[in-house]
Chain A
Amino acid sequence: MSGRLGGLINAILSRALAVYASLALMYLLLPIVTIAIFSFNDPVGRSNYAWAGFTFDNWLTLFRDPTLVKAVGTSLRIALVSTLIATTIGTLMAMALVRYRFRFRKAIDLFVFLPLATPEIVLGASLLTLFVTLQIPLGEVTLILAHVMFNVSYVVVTMKARLSGFDMRLEEAAADLGATPWQTFWRVTFPLILPGIGASAILAFGLSLDDFVITRFNAGQVQTFPVYVYLKVQKGIPPQVNAFATLFFMATVTLVALGALLQRRRATLKQ
């Protein structure tokens, strides 16, 4: 009897877990799904907040507003460049922090963490002060500098976690087999930490593409995608913005899925 009762309780509990998990997922996905749905809206007037009818128009006229297209281009360019720089610097910093004991290592560890903990608005404002003081004209260069600054922190934190599990004996084995430090890095270390580098880069790219607060302070006349959206709030955000946002989301999902697929294929190959 108690066995049957226990089975019943287990069945209910596992059902409850499924419901709970679905709710949690919905909570995460609902805003994104809303954005995607409204990219197919045929809004009445300028504001795209009320559902008025289904249309493909927004996708077909994706490139109609040259200001929007330019903003998207700027955002992608800044994201790409700052990701490349931040991932390279961040990976090397993480390697140094994980592997070597040197003066001020603990301090650097802390400083790297600071941009993550500092409110963005403070970072943005103080960067602006810095650039103005140094008389560096605001524009894409200052934006890239700013994005590299906060992205480096994310990359270092991610890569440190990945690297601390790295088996140093593998590098010793490579050296033992006659590989120079350079060969050891490119043939052993790099391929093994590549998944971590990829994950860091995707994170950095997303953060850069998405950043508004720091960007708003240091952009000068340059308009990035988030800045464009912000400026349009008053007049009504065109539905093409939803289409672009959906595109970005799909691109990220595709990238992450591709990475996961690649890793899984490798894993099954090795099992």
Chain B
Amino acid sequence: MILLAKAALGLSGALVVAGAYTFHEGVIRVDVDEFRPGGSHVHLWVPAATVPMAMHFVPKHPLCDAAQPAQEFLPVAHALFKELKKFPDTEFVEVNDDEQHVRIRTHGEKLQIDVDAPDEKVHLLVPLGALDDMVGQLEDSEPRA
């Protein structure tokens, strides 16, 4: 009985620690709805800590290919995400017109991008730390000169 209790305690302890680690950086949330025939509907909740982790398992070559076109902008993105963490929650860009509403803001150390248009809705919530990690890894995967 005690042995079982200890095993259960160990297992639940490990689960709690793993869960706490997985979610300590928050959750990446992606919601895309295209309102047209055959349009895609993507609703994704991913623990932010798993993405940089998963990027370690991506073969170097495809990652390098992906980073190549963005090479010029990676230092900008890196500087931006690093600096954004230092500022209070802010609405950086807001565009409103008859049909569309675009909003880019930071909220609780997360970057939030919302696009509401008649033909599509896109909502993105990504922790700045995770973005910074991802950009850092893409920078590291660039071929050295």
Note whether A and B form a binding pair.
Answer: no
**B residues lining the A interface (CB < 8 Å):** none
Binding site for B on A (CB under 8 A): none
